[in-house]
Amino acid sequence: MLADEIAALLPRMRRFARALTFHREDADDVVQIAMERALGRSEQWEPGTRLDSWLFRIIKNAWIDEVRSRTRRAELFAPEEEGEHVGDDTAQAHQQRLAVQKAISLLSEEHRLVVGLVLVDGLPYKEAAEVLEIPIGTLTSRLARARDALQQLLADPTTRTR
Amino acid sequence: MRFSDETLMAYADGELDPQERAAIEEAMRDDPAIANAVANHRALRADVAAAFAGILDEPVPARLQPQVPAPAPVLSLDAARAERTAAKARRTWSWPEWGALAAMLVVGVLAGKALPGGAPAIAGNGGQVVAQGELASALDRQVGGQGNAKVKVGVSFAARDGDYCRTFVMGTSAGLACRAGGQWKIPVLSETAPEAGGGYRQAGSALPAAVLDAVDERIAGKPLDAAGEEAARARGWQAGR
């Protein structure tokens, strides 16, 4: 059943949404909107095409349509979120992950989308270009610029300490 | 450097064909700058993946799972947030949600619950809460999600015991009615949440948690589609055991 296949992709959908809007509740609201749209128009998915790409496209559109202007940037790194995931893992690795998440949150929306698809989810360029509805050459150059921007943010000590 | 940064990036991302890969691997052996650029691309990819990997292991919140009936749609983040906050506050002072047992205790209160300008819609009958009047006739007749100003019947489904059950919204009340013994028995009746600000959701689209829980407890399979509702209505909502 399609709903089951969609449900199986929920962890990846949540992860992609978190790359777009780091706040957990906002990201899950984006996923919930996307789930409602996907289940409501499941006949629009063409069997034989990748379900994950279709769902990511719906998430992208949901995020653009509904929520991006409302992202609570000021609360991106609320204390409750900073405290999570520290468990058995070293403080340094935890700091590194936070720095990367924070740097991604400071990217432009266009760059966050390509980073979320290719580097966070690991989609091949072809599928990522289909999600974004852009030619693969555009995807490649956009990804290269996004990586540059990300490297610069990570090299900037104020990104790490802010 | 003989290769563009984009090409090296594509190599690090595993996007090149075998011939291109071989050419870059040869260049990496000869030129530490190329090897270094590839290593940087790979390191960034690994760091980004690691920063988000933990999310895959988080439990997925129940509200995101495909469910029947769907939760109230999130139409905007601000509204969803306001609703979350309001729900927390409401918990402490709102009308109680009546479960099956409690419903029997409040029959006295509800027996007279009437639709605006109409006859009583709910009555106590031998210890059961049953629909009567316009609520009963709406439950008998409405199919396909239509509705009238007073009563709107929502999802219909076959319960595990074979009886047909239907959710309804009537004024500020919402409940579940199950057909048994020629009557619509009402195991759960609850107040609907007040519309929070700007009317961002359609009336009747959001059933109280107590009603949704009652549906989840009973439903066997999927809700009836329009044809299924027609067929059940044609049988007078007699259990299809």
Left (φ > 0), alpha (ψ -120 to 50) or beta: where does B219 sit? beta
Using alpha carbons, list the distances in angstroms from residue A153 to A105, A140, A161. 10, 20, 12
CB contact under 8 A, A36 and B73: yes
Out of A25, A39, A100, name the one closest to residue B48 (CB): A100
d(CA A17, CA A34): 10
Q: How far is A29 from chain B (nearest CA, A)?
A: 7
Q: How far is B16 from chain A (nearest CA, A)?
A: 11
**Whether residue A102 sits in one domain with residue A35:** no
pTM: 0.56
Q: Does residue A143 form part of some domain? A: yes
Q: Which one of A17, A40, A71 terminates a domain? A: A71
Q: Residue B108 — very low, low, confident or very high, per pLDDT cuts 50/70/90? A: very low
Q: Which one of B19, B37, B57 terminates a domain? A: B57
Q: Give the nearest chain A residue to B50 (CA atoms).
A: A97
Q: Which structural domain, as residue segments, surrounds residue A93? A: 88-162
Q: How far is CA A10 from the centre of its chain?
A: 13
d(CA A77, CA A102): 8
Q: Give the nearest chain A residue to B12 (CA atoms).
A: A119
Bigger pLDDT: B241 or B51?
B51
- Which residues of chain A have a CB within 8 Å of the CB of B64? 10, 14, 28, 31-32, 35
Burial label, A8 (beta-carbon count in 10 A; 0-12, 13-18, 19+): exposed
Interval B20-63: pLDDT, tens: 999 999 999 999 999 999 999 999 999 999 999 999 999 999 88
Domain count, chain A: 2
Q: Which one of A71, A97, A112 terminates a domain? A: A71
Q: Does residue B168 form part of some domain? A: yes
Which pLDDT belongs to residue B144? Answer: 73
Q: Which one of B57, B73, B101 terminates a domain? A: B57
Q: Which structural domain, as residue segments, surrounds residue B133? A: 62-234
Torsion angle (degrees, nearest 10) of CA B178, B184, B187, B192: 100
Q: Does residue B77 form part of some domain? A: yes
User: Which of A33-37, A87-91, A149-153, B69-73 has the lowest average pLDDT?
Assistant: B69-73
Backbone angles phi, psi at A156, to 5 degrees: -85, 115
Which pLDDT belongs to residue B84? Answer: 64
Interval B155-186: pLDDT, tens: 888 998 888 999 988 877 888 999 988 889 88
Q: How far is CA B176 from the centre of its chain?
A: 16
Greatest mean pLDDT range, A48-52, A157-161, B66-70: A48-52
Interval A104-128: pLDDT, tens: 999 999 999 999 999 999 999 999 9
Domain count, chain B: 2
Bigger pLDDT: A60 or B222?
A60
**Whether residue B71 sits in one domain with residue B52:** no
Assembly ipTM? 0.88
> Among B212, B113, B129, B127, which Cα is nearest to B172's?
B113
Q: How many beta-carbon pairs below 8 A join chains A and B?
A: 106
Q: Is B240 helix (H, G, I), strand (E, B) or coil?
A: coil
Which pLDDT belongs to residue B181? Answer: 84
Using alpha carbons, list the distances in angstroms from residue B156 to B27, B28, B145, B152. 67, 66, 9, 12
**Whether residue A126 sits in one domain with residue A92:** yes
Q: Residue B227 — very low, low, confident or very high, per pLDDT cuts 50/70/90? A: confident
> Among B140, B151, B103, which Cα is nearest to B123's?
B103
CATH of the domain at A66: 1.10.1740.10
Say if CB B158 and CB B166 are below 8 A apart: no
CB contact under 8 A, A120 and B52: yes
Bigger pLDDT: B218 or A123?
A123
Q: How far is A36 from chain B (nearest CA, A)?
A: 7
CB contact under 8 A, A119 and B84: no
Q: Does residue B239 form part of some domain? A: no
- Which residues of chain A have a CB within 8 Å of the CB of B58? 11, 14
CATH of the domain at A113: 1.10.10.10
**Whether residue A93 sits in one domain with residue A162:** yes
- Which residues of chain B have a CB within 8 Å of the CB of A115? 48
Q: Does residue B240 form part of some domain? A: no
**Whether residue B104 sits in one domain with residue B15:** no
Which pLDDT belongs to residue B18? Answer: 95
- Which residues of chain A have a CB within 8 Å of the CB of B222? none
CB contact under 8 A, A147 and B44: yes
Q: How far is CA A161 from the centre of its chain?
A: 23
